[in-house]
Amino acid sequence: MSLLFAPLTLRGTTVRNRAWLSPMCQYSAVDGVPNDWHLVHLGARAAGGFGLVLTEATAVTADGRISPQDTGLWNDQQTAAWARITDVIHARGAVAGVQLAHAGRKASTFRPFHEGHGSVPVPDGGWGTVAPSGVEFPGYEAPRELSDDEVAAIPATFAAAARRALDAGFDVAEVHAAHGYLLHQFLSPLSNHRTDRWGGSPENRVRLLHQVVDAVRAVWPDERPVVVRLSATDWTEGGLTVDDVAEVARGLAARGVDLVDVSTGGNVPAQIPVGPGYQVPAARRIREVSGLPVSAVGLISAATQAEQVLVEGSADAVMIARAALRDPSWALHAAAELGVTLPTLEHVGADARVAPGQPTGWPVQYERAVRS
């Protein structure tokens, strides 16, 4: 039996396997509205066997986008566009997850498509950014420090986006508190220099994340999971450590969080020892301390490597990122490599639709390529 292809149930939601598509920005939306690119990109990975298909960082407000081309969930047009995409994901048997985000001081930046680097000027479609403190990310424009009332209003924006995500048909809500974006900025002493109730002590710096999670959990159905992505370390002296973030995760367990998506870095430039599975030890530590299920991500590219992460107890699921960009059917190829036989979609009807959470193999339309 393969652990990678064993189902995982969180609350009342069962994911057909533990090979999950990691959130990856596509920088291809207009006014926050996902389009045919997003439908094909995410739909292909659902057809390619991934159990949970997560969107890119989807902004809860217009000024929370990483770039002007990011997707969002702050209006009805965006909600309707996402509903079309979740229908396609569900039709292929996958579970649809949305990553809710606010970029904070790392917002309003050029997308990485030969358009430059750093902050987009306001005349060119950019906007002023906000942060816990008026400290810029190197190379970006300095942000404006949020007032106490402005910080207190942020959880409601995440809750409103979560309601729209529910209307759009998403099954899993992930709160993005990693990679140097707004919630991570509040968590880290490197970017949070406040002396009020939102800064200083670890208890104050985690306050906003707790309130965001509480607000999302309050509007998200009990049977559907809430996930939080955390950067387990800032990789910089004086910043967050794995043990710091493990305690953050422990606190989330009591607030209705069902899984921690463990990544690292992103809040400040750092020397990171990148290599295959380099973030897996952090995932294992957070799993041990918090008692929560975790996912691991970071240069996990081979089926046997992903399987070993699960067998050794370092994680409960693996997020596949760059390997999934190279191969939309990475999960189905992994099943074959591990000797797992999955039913083709012809066994569930001519329309090739299955209930989310049901194991499926190659779409019947592609079966002759598998047999040859």
Q: Crossing angle, helix 207-219 and helix 148-167, to 10 degrees? A: 30
Phi, psi torsion values for 259, nearest 5 degrees: -160, 145
Phi, psi torsion values for 22, nearest 5 degrees: -70, 150
Tokens describing residue 63: 């000024």
Catalytic, 140? Answer: no
- In angstroms, the CA 21 to CA 9 distance is 17
27, 140, 181, 366: which one is catalytic? 181
- In angstroms, the CA 287 to CA 320 distance is 19
Phi, psi torsion values for 304, nearest 5 degrees: -65, -35
| Spatial contact of 303 and 311, defined as CB atoms under 8 Å apart | no
- The rounded radius of gyration (Å) of the Cα atoms in the chain is 20
Phi, psi torsion values for 296, nearest 5 degrees: -115, 145
Q: Which residues are catalytic?
A: 181
